[in-house]
Amino acid sequence: MAKSTNTCNSLLALIFNATTFANIAQNGGSPLTDLYVSLHKGDPGVGGSQLTNEADFGAYARIPVVRTISGWKAPDAGSTDNAALIQFVECNGGSNSISHVAIGTDISGAGRVLYAGQLSSPRTISSGIQPQFSAHALVVTET
């Protein structure tokens, strides 16, 4: 059974914009203020965590993106995307071939992967390279 576009938008707004899903879910308690974008050398998989195949080049760290419309665009037509540039620190050693990106719950450790996807083509990150995603480049779709 498929979800309606309105339901998809409400789910995305709850996760990415911390917006209450009326009569279904509230962003109560001690909710996350950020989601964390991570880079991966392979698919983190449906059973994996943010640590699964995670990048490990020199100076790598996950990037926090605030759960508001300044971090993620308000959902429309069942999708959302990053509202601004997401820029990782410049690699200062080592090298990784990055094939996947994920959005998860923790700044470090085995955080929950909420969404993950494959890049259109792998990117080799080595010393002096600063990975980034331009605004609107990370598109998340609910169907």
Dump pLDDT digits (tens) for 35-66. Answer: 999 999 999 999 999 999 999 999 999 999 99
Is the pLDDT higher at 113 or at 25? 113
* Mean predicted confidence (pLDDT) in 75-82: 98
Rounded Cα gap, residues 87 and 66, in angstroms: 14
Rounded Cα gap, residues 32 and 21, in angstroms: 16
Instruction: Let me know how long the chain is.
Output: 143
Question: pTM higher than 0.85, yes or no?
Answer: yes
> What confidence category does residue 30 fall into, taking pLDDT thresholds of 50, 70 and 90?
confident
pLDDT above 90: residue 28: no
